Structure 1
C-alpha cells in the first residue's frame, strides 16, 4: 500500500529535525545554536476507509487522509468517485 491519499494526493514529504542547545536571548543568554541536523519524513494522516456507495449499492475501500474525509462530507461521495474515475483510478 502506497502512502498516498487517493482523493487529495497527499504523500510523505521530506524535512529536517534540528538539535538545539543554549540559553535564549530572551532569558539573557548568548542565543540558541543548532548543534545537529537530521533528515526526517513527515507522514500524512492516512486511514483505510470502507464507504457505502448508494448509487451502485456496494461498499468501496479507499485510502484517505482525514482532510479528504471532510471533503467527502462536504461534496458527497458520488462526486468524488466521479473525479477519481476521470483520473483513471480504479474504485
Structure 2
C-alpha cells in the first residue's frame, strides 16, 4: 500500500540525514499516516481511510460527508 494520505494527498519527501560531522546521507520523510474507520451516517456504514494527522483534523472541521464527496470527485472509489 502506498504511503499517501487519501484526504490531503501528502506523500513521502526526501532529504538528508546530517551527522555532527556534517556527513549527509539520503533519507525519506514519511507522512504520519493512520488507517481509521469513519462512520458515515448518510450511508449507514463505516468507511476505512488511510489519513494523516492533518487529514483527521480536516475531517473533524469539515465533516466526513464533505470530505468523502471531495475524494469521490477526484475519481477515487470508496
The TM-score normalised by the length of structure 2 is 0.96
Q: Which residue of 1 aligns with 2:4?
A: 4
Structure 2: tracts of 5 or more residues without a match: none
**Aligned residue runs from structure 1 range 1-91, under 5 A:** 1-21=1-21, 34=22, 36-91=23-78
The TM-score normalised by the length of structure 1 is 0.83
Structure 1: tracts of 5 or more residues without a match: 22-33
Alpha-carbon distance in structure 1 between the residues aligned to 2:54 and 2:20 = 32
Alpha-carbon distance in structure 2 between the residues aligned to 1:18 and 1:68 = 29
CA RMSD across the alignment: 0.8
